A and B are shown apart, each in its own frame.
Chain A
C-alpha cells in the first residue's frame, strides 16, 4: 500500500483498501489500495478508460447511480467507513462533495443554486442562508461577480462562472472532501486558470481529489499524483517525484507523451 507518512493523520484523509469496481460482468477497476492525504490536492491521471473517473465516483458512492455497477472493498474517511450495511449514501455525499466535468447548474437563480444543498439539509432561516451562500460564493471566487445578480438565473452566467457556481454549490454544504471530475476540461485557458488557482486555495480547508487529462494541470495544482492505467493503479506519490523521477516505466511513458 502506498502511504504518505507525514500527512497520514490530517483530517479529511481517505483510506482506500482493495477497492474494485465492476460494470456488469466487466471489471473497470482492479483492486486499488491507497491513502489520500487530508487537506491536500491529489490528482488522478491516466488515459481515457483507465478507471480514474470510476475510482473517483466510488469515493462518494456516486457509482450507485449507475445501473449494474458493483463496488467491492473498503473506503474510510477519517477512519469511518463509507461502504457497509446501514451507511446511508446520502450522508456520505454530504461529507464528500462532487463537481462534474460539465457545469450543471440548476435552472434556478444563482442564490437558489448555492442554497440548494443547505435547504435540503434543513436550513431555512433567511439570515443563515444568505450568510452561508455568501461564504460559499466567496470561497469559490465568484462573490464579486455575482453579488449584484444573485436573483438572476444561473444559466445567464458564462461557462467558467457556472463551473465556479457548481464549486460554490458543493462547498456550501461544508463537505470535508471535494471530488472533481475534469472540472476545467470544458473551459477556456483563462477560466481554467481561475479554477486552478481556486483548487490550490481550497486545499487549505478541504481534501481535493481531481481527475484530469491535462498533465500540466496535474503538475500545477496537485501535491500528490496517482497514475491509473487499464484499471490498475500503477503509481502514486508526490507530484514532483511522479513527474521528475517516476518509478514505473509505464508512468514515464505516459507523462512523456509516448502513449495515451
Chain B
C-alpha cells in the first residue's frame, strides 16, 4: 500500500518543489547562499504545505483502496490487532463488504455494518480536513502577517 501511494506523494512533492519561483532561488544564490542553504531556507519552507497535503491525501486515498490488499494481507476476520508489519490485518472497506454480504444473519449485523461505514467515513473526512487545514494555515503564514 505504501508503495502504491508513493507516486501520489512523489508527484505532489515534485509539483510543490517546482512551484517555488526560480527568482527566489536566484535571489538566494546572489546573496551568497550555497545550493544546500537555498534548498533548506527557501525552497523547502515554501514547498512544505504542498508536500504535506499530498502526503495526507495519499494516506486517505490509501484507506479507500481495497483491491491491492485483498490479494496481499487483508483477512476476513481477526480477533486481535496486528502487531508486526508482516501480520495479516483487517481492512475497513473490505469489512463493510464482508458484513453486508457474507453474514448469515443480515439483520443482526446491520448496526455493525453502519458503524463500520461511519468509522470509515469519519476517518477519510478527518484526513482530508486535516490536509485542507494544513494547507490553508501554511498559505496564510506565507501570505499575511505573523
- The answer on a CB contact under 8 Å between B145 and A170 is no
Shortest C-beta distance, B121 to chain A (Å), equals: 36
Which residue on A lies nearest to B42, using beta carbons?
A: A106
Interface residues of A in 66-107 (CB under 8 A from B): 90-91, 93-94, 97-98, 100, 102, 104-107
CB-CB under 8 A from A153, the residues of chain B are 142-146
Cross-chain contact of B26 among A104, A109, A119, A173 (Cβ < 8 A): A104
- The answer on a CB contact under 8 Å between B37 and A120 is yes
Shortest C-beta distance, B14 to chain A (Å), equals: 18
Shortest C-beta distance, A62 to chain B (Å), equals: 6
Asked if A189 is an interface residue, CB under 8 A from chain B, the answer is: no
- The answer on a CB contact under 8 Å between A170 and B32 is no
- The answer on a CB contact under 8 Å between A151 and B145 is yes
A117 to B29, CA, bound (A): 10
Asked if B21 is an interface residue, CB under 8 A from chain A, the answer is: yes
- The answer on a CB contact under 8 Å between B146 and A151 is yes
Cross-chain contact of B23 among A94, A104, A155, A169 (Cβ < 8 A): A104
What count of chain B residues pass the 8 Å CB interface test?
22
Interface residues of A in 33-71 (CB under 8 A from B): 60, 62, 65
CB-CB under 8 A from A94, the residues of chain B are 31-32
SS class of chain B's interface: helix, strand, loop or mixed? helix
Interface residues of B in 108-146 (CB under 8 A from A): 142-146
Asked if B101 is an interface residue, CB under 8 A from chain A, the answer is: no
CB-CB under 8 A from A155, the residues of chain B are 142-143
Shortest C-beta distance, A56 to chain B (Å), equals: 11
Asked if A121 is an interface residue, CB under 8 A from chain B, the answer is: yes
A60 to B32, CA, bound (A): 10
CB-CB under 8 A from A201, the residues of chain B are none
Interface residues of A in 210-249 (CB under 8 A from B): none
Interface residues of B in 33-74 (CB under 8 A from A): 33-34, 37, 41-42, 46
Asked if B6 is an interface residue, CB under 8 A from chain A, the answer is: no
Which residue on B lies nearest to A102, using beta carbons?
A: B23
- The answer on a CB contact under 8 Å between B31 and A173 is yes
Residue numbers of B with Cβ under 8 A of A are: 21, 23-34, 37, 41-42, 46, 142-146
Report the 5 A-B pairs with minimum CB-CB distance, sorted nearest first: A94-B32, A104-B23, A117-B31, A98-B30, A107-B142
Pairs across A and B, CB under 8 Å, 14 listed: A62-B29, A65-B25, A90-B34, A93-B30, A93-B31, A93-B32, A94-B32, A100-B27, A104-B26, A107-B46, A107-B143, A120-B32, A152-B146, A170-B30
